């Protein structure tokens, strides 16, 4: 260094003054600024005083954080004091908002914003507010100590869906935004498409406009599991296998019901009705003793004609010409890419006809009069008086099982059992198409319809019949005491949404 620090030696200090040394005192603002001196032969006293020989040139530098450093030179001819006031640095704060068109307001007393920036003295507090329509505004106070650019990302509003049951699959969709778990964050006013699904429940679908952060519970409704139809315009359905909702549509007897692609069709001797929810029904130009959905179409049978739906909604139908003289169709089923019609013949007793396209039929006469037919486990099972018939895949050799003493109607399959409904409280079960039926008696009423499905993992056989009675079973062997659902006879039941 070019000066000597003799601050610790007071006597020497005064001795140097006596020898012609002069003092330079710097009074600085801010007071804690750092001072450095450069002078030949100079002797520094403390932070702000230097002794130099008379006429010496002293260069000083004063610096402090946030201030512009000041450097100058002075010739010391006599004791002297000099004031040095540092000037605050100018620093610029710039805000980069998301969304990019958000409004940025920067406020500091005495300073003016330019665009999304403001230039202030070092250390000045700036109040920063960022806002945009549909987003939550942000306001922060920022002490500016350097040139800096800060990013401010505005948050939208979060929609959280809490489904019941909790493990249902939730889909939240809005253009340009991504779902996370069961939530989505979007600007206010955004329309979110909500979809919730779970096996065994009706799919929930709705458009929801988000206006605030919120959490909404949505409880799924169990899907309809079974629907049955009967006399006096009666229709009933259940979602859980135990409680039933009954509606009355007209006063006719509904002989049979089918379900496909979200549409229900019930047929009677003089008309047919359709519905998409099993509550509201409308009439269509069809009729039938039996009806089936297969190969993307509904086909009903009555007399010696078929009635075929010609559109996906089941609203338009075509009627066929007479398919076979001296016949009376009683039912139709579909499976293994084949349709099978059964019925009676005035000349030959009973028959079945099969077709791969629903228009061209091959007929076989049999030694029983079939009542109903159902496709079950690769075979068509048909009922009749004292016999249960089996048509392998609709085209094989017909054979019958002896089940004397009863008239047999509909068949179903579940829990590794075939179950067939019959007259006077009779139900029959057998494990395979080749095994003999075991007859059971449940009550005394005729069971005209029987069906099977699982409801949320619980097995249900349901048989329905005379005077509104129904009975249920979990295994096809043990049945509940019959109870009435209404008093009108139930003619048919089918499992739906399976």
Instruction: Dump pLDDT digits (tens) for 103-131.
Output: 999 999 999 999 999 999 999 999 999 99
- For 263-291, the DSSP string reads EEEEEESS-EEEESSSSS-EEES---SEE
Res. 7: pLDDT tops 80: no
pLDDT value for 13 = 58
Q: What's the average model confidence in pLDDT over 212-235? A: 97
Extended beta strands in 39-122, E state: 43-45, 49-53, 56-63, 67-68, 70-76, 80-85, 87-88, 90-98, 103-107, 113-114, 117-121
Q: Kindly indicate the confidence band of residue 393, based on its pLDDT and cuts at 50, 70 and 90.
A: confident
Residue bearing the bigger pLDDT, 19 or 22:
22
- What sections of 151-236 are H helices per DSSP? none
Q: What's the average model confidence in pLDDT over 221-246? A: 97
Q: What's the average model confidence in pLDDT over 183-205? A: 95
pLDDT value for 480 = 98
Q: What's the average model confidence in pLDDT over 317-343? A: 91
pLDDT value for 346 = 84
pLDDT value for 10 = 52
439: tokens are 């007859």
Distance, in Å, from the CA atom of 272 to the CA atom of 282, rounded to the nearest integer, reads: 8
First to last CA, the chain: 96
Q: What's the average model confidence in pLDDT over 294-318? A: 92
pLDDT value for 177 = 94
Mean pLDDT, the chain, rounded, equals 92
Res. 83: pLDDT tops 60: yes
Res. 315: pLDDT tops 50: yes
Distance, in Å, from the CA atom of 159 to the CA atom of 216, rounded to the nearest integer, reads: 8
Q: Kindly indicate the confidence band of residue 394, based on its pLDDT and cuts at 50, 70 and 90.
A: low
pLDDT value for 324 = 77
Q: What's the average model confidence in pLDDT over 53-65? A: 93
Residue bearing the bigger pLDDT, 264 or 360:
264
pLDDT value for 164 = 97
Q: Kindly indicate the confidence band of residue 8, based on its pLDDT and cuts at 50, 70 and 90.
A: very low
Q: What is the pLDDT of residues 410-461, one digit of tens each?
A: 999 999 999 999 999 999 999 988 889 999 999 999 999 999 999 999 999 9
Distance, in Å, from the CA atom of 127 to the CA atom of 110, rounded to the nearest integer, reads: 13
Q: What is the pLDDT of residues 130-154, one digit of tens each?
A: 999 999 999 999 999 999 999 999 9
Is the CB of residue 70 less than 8 Å from the CB of residue 26? no
pLDDT value for 405 = 86
pLDDT value for 14 = 62
pLDDT value for 35 = 95
Q: Smallest Cα–Cα separation from 179: which of 188, 189, 169?
A: 169
């Amino acid at each position: 260094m070019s000066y000597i620090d003799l601050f610790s030696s007071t006597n020497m200090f005064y001795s140097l003054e006596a020898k012609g040394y002069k003092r330079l005192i710097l009074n600085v603002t801010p007071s804690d600024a750092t001072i450095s001196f450069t002078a030949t032969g100079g002797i520094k006293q403390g932070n702000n005083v230097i002794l130099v020989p008379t006429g010496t040139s002293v260069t000083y530098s004063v610096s402090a954080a946030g201030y512009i450093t000041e450097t100058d030179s002075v010739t010391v001819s006599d004791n002297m004091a000099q004031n040095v006031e540092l000037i605050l640095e100018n620093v610029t704060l710039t805000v980069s908002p998301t969304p990019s068109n958000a409004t940025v307001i920067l406020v500091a007393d005495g300073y003016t914003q330019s665009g999304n920036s403001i230039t202030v003295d070092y250390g000045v507090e700036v109040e920063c507010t960022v806002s945009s329509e549909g987003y939550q505004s942000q306001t922060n106070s920022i002490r500016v100590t350097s040139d800096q650019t800060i990013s401010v990302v505005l948050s939208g509003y979060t929609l959280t869906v809490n489904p019941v049951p909790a493990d249902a699959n939730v889909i939240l969709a809005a253009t340009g935004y991504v779902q996370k778990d069961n939530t989505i964050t979007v600007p206010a006013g955004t329309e979110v498409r909500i979809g919730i699904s779970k096996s065994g429940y009706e799919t929930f679908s709705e458009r929801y406009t988000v206006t605030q952060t919120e959490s909404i519970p949505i409880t799924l409704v169990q899907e309809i599991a079974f629907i049955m139809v009967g006399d006096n315009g009666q229709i009933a359905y259940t979602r859980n296998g135990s409680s039933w909702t009954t509606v009355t549509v007209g006063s006719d007897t509904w002989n049979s019901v089918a379900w496909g692609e979200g549409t229900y069709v019930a047929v009677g001797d003089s008309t047919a009705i359709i519905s998409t929810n099993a509550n509201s029904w409308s009439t269509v130009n069809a009729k039938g003793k039996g009806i089936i959905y297969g190969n993307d179409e509904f086909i009903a049978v009555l007399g010696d004609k078929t009635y075929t739906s010609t559109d996906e909604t089941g609203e338009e139908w075509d009627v066929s010409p007479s398919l076979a003289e001296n016949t009376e169709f009683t039912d139709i089923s579909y499976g293994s890419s084949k349709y099978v019609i059964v019925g009676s013949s005035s000349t030959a007793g009973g028959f079945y006809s099969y077709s791969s396209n629903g228009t061209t039929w091959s007929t076989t006469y049999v030694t029983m009069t079939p009542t109903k037919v159902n496709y079950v486990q690769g075979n068509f099972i048909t009922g009749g008086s004292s016999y249960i018939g089996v048509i392998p895949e609709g085209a094989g050799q017909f054979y019958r099982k002896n089940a004397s003493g009863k008239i047999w109607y509909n068949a179903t399959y579940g829990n590794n059992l075939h179950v067939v409904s019959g007259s006077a409280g009779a139900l029959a079960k057998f494990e395979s198409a080749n095994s003999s039926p075991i007859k059971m008696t449940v009550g005394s009423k005729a069971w005209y319809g029987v069906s099977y499905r699982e409801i949320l993992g619980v097995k249900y056989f349901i048989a329905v019949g005379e005077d509104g009675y129904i009975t249920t079973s979990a295994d096809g062997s043990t049945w509940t005491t019959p109870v009435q659902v209404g008093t009108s006879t139930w003619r048919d039941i089918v499992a739906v949404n399976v």
